[in-house]
Structure 1
Amino acid sequence: MNGFLEKYQTKGSKDEFIHEVAAVCVLTGKILLQNGAETYRVEDTMNRIANSYAVHHAQSFVTPTGIIFSIEDHDVTQLVRINQRGTNLRKVTEVNTLSRRVAQGEVSLNELYQLLRQIDRSTVAYSEPLQIFAAAVASSCFLLMFLGKWQDLLPAFFAGGAGQAGMIYFHKLAKVKFFSEFMSSIVIGMIALLSVRLGLGIEMNKIIIGAVMPLVPGVAITNAVRDIMAGDLVSGLSKSAEAGLTAFAIGIGVTSAMMLG
């Protein structure tokens, strides 16, 4: 891999190359962090890419809201702010696959930057109608998993789909964190309550439990635990707090629906 650096040294543009490597590493970390990757995975991937291009002694510090990347012995430090985070494991997988190709020397620096830009600009993996349908099917399956009645299958299906649709709509309506989860839970609670009162469902609790499962921050909770176990206490505790507030918003939303009903 030293060939990369030697090539730029002969051109007298070593500093430019170092800055380009730092920019590519930061872009890699940004994509991973915005799409649900763990903190240690983000830091490890950034450092491995830098080492693959013979830029050693790279240091990275990642929190849920920002990335700091620095290269020792060089006047190179970059900071990027992370304002939006979600879950798109497809992008995480694509970046991981790309980093392995880089480690094997199959991708040049310019090519890597272009590929990362394509991944970053790509839209969501699945359309909104498909997300709503998948949430509806998952809600029905969760209902059966929690030993719900077969008569509650259809109410859970519609409640789960309506909850996901509300999640998408309210997130577009207001970018306030936890607002979409709160409003979607109200929608789910009202549908469950209405279905039981109309005789379409039997156990309201099971319908609600099945329908809210797609809203539960499972990835955030898992990443929080893994970050804490890996020693990234700042990221782990902040993600735990975020997941706890999301669960709190879901609970308050369901309770509000019960009170309104």
Structure 2
Amino acid sequence: MTIQQKNTYDIMEVCVLAGKIMLQSGAETYRVEDTMMRIASAYGAKESHSYVTPTGIIFSIESDQPTKTKLFRITERTTDLQKVTYVNSISRRISKGELTLDEAYYALKEIEESKAGYPTVIQVLAAAAASGCFLIMFKGTWFDFPAALVAGGTGLLGFIYAQRLVPIKFFSEFVASLIIAIIAVLAVEFGWGVQVDKIIIGSVMPLVPGLVLTNAIRDLMAGHLVSGLSKGAEALLTAFAIGSGVAIVLTFM
């Protein structure tokens, strides 16, 4: 392998690693493609091409040697906008010439290996608070506020543990909505709540795929039809899973 070939492969490794982190963390498709091509250009690549879908990255660099292409499969996706921000920051530093290839690679590796998200306790408390606030926003009563807090927090906790047992996102969302609906119905039955519909609506809001749906529309508007349609389908499946869990409880209780 010549020095030029090694340099090209190193550039591709940095670009694909940056794209992988962003895509797994919930970034839009167009942003991932743009970041990868900007990094390649900053390191002197004459021309680069990227094709990104929610489940894979294809990246190539054209040079005097035969064109090199790298394919990476994405199997896990979550929402961690902090990592997206960190990668964008590194991309800007690369564009300014502040980082060498090795420095950029190790910086991106640190971001990839860093612990994602917040502790479970913080996530549950945030979901509980958000559920109560959504209840009030949807014109629920303050009497139902505690029930929404308990339902929303317990629902997210159920989602987290179901995801660990069975790593299928839609199944975890189904379990979470099932728990939320059961708590809401029991709260009204025992006199701890009044409006079961408002409690359920407020409590499932932390599960609603707002970011996925927004990214789907943004990708469609940018012309990324495959990514837009696949993310839209993911959002619809999530909505179906949430609705199914609630419907089963309301039907049999």
C-alpha separation in 1, matches of 2:168 and 2:20: 21
Residues 30 and 224, structure 2, Cα contact 8 Å, conserved in 1: yes
Code of the residue aligned with 1:47 in structure 2: it is M
* Match 1:146 to one of 138, 143, 165: 138
Code of the residue aligned with 2:15 in structure 1: it is C
* Match 2:201 to one of 199, 204, 209: 209
2:155 counterpart of 1:163: yes
Q: Tell me what 2:57 maps to.
A: 67
C-alpha separation in 2, matches of 1:175 and 1:95: 26
C-alpha separation in 2, matches of 1:125 and 1:193: 31
User: Deviation per CA, 1:115-144, whole angstroms, max 9, x where unpaired?
Assistant: 100100111231001100000000001011
Q: How far apart are residue 23 of structure 1 and its match? A: 0.8
Residues 140 and 198, structure 2, Cα contact 8 Å, conserved in 1: yes
Q: How far apart are residue 56 of structure 1 and its match? A: 2.2
Residues 61 and 69, structure 2, Cα contact 8 Å, conserved in 1: yes
Q: Partner of 1:205: helix, strand, or coil?
A: helix
2:15 counterpart of 1:15: no
C-alpha separation in 2, matches of 1:135 and 1:80: 33
Residues 45 and 62, structure 2, Cα contact 8 Å, conserved in 1: no
Q: Tell me what 2:14 maps to.
A: 24
C-alpha separation in 2, matches of 1:84 and 1:259: 34
Q: How far apart are residue 61 of structure 1 and its match? A: 0.2
C-alpha separation in 1, matches of 2:196 and 2:120: 27
Q: Partner of 2:52: helix, strand, or coil?
A: strand
Q: Tell me what 2:70 maps to.
A: 78
User: Deviation per CA, 1:50-90, whole angstroms, max 9, x where unpaired?
Assistant: 00001121000000100000012343110000001110001
Equivalenced residues, count: 250
Q: Partner of 1:67: helix, strand, or coil?
A: strand
* Match 2:103 to one of 108, 111, 114: 111
C-alpha separation in 1, matches of 2:116 and 2:196: 33
Q: Tell me what 2:80 maps to.
A: 88
C-alpha separation in 2, matches of 1:193 and 1:21: 56
Q: Tell me what 1:132 maps to.
A: 124
C-alpha separation in 1, matches of 2:211 and 2:111: 21
Q: Tell me what 1:225 maps to.
A: 217
Q: How far apart are residue 177 of structure 1 and its match? A: 3.4
Q: How far apart are residue 175 of structure 1 and its match? A: 1.3
C-alpha separation in 2, matches of 1:63 and 1:72: 21
**Percentage identity across paired residues of the two chains:** 54
User: Deviation per CA, 1:6-52, whole angstroms, max 9, x where unpaired?
Assistant: xxxxxx61110010000110011000000100000000000000000
Q: How far apart are residue 257 of structure 1 and its match? A: 1.4
CA-atom RMSD in angstroms = 0.8
Residues 155 and 177, structure 2, Cα contact 8 Å, conserved in 1: yes
Q: How far apart are residue 165 of structure 1 and its match? A: 0.1
TM-score (norm 2): 0.97
Q: Tell me what 1:33 maps to.
A: 23
* Match 1:97 to one of 89, 95, 107: 89
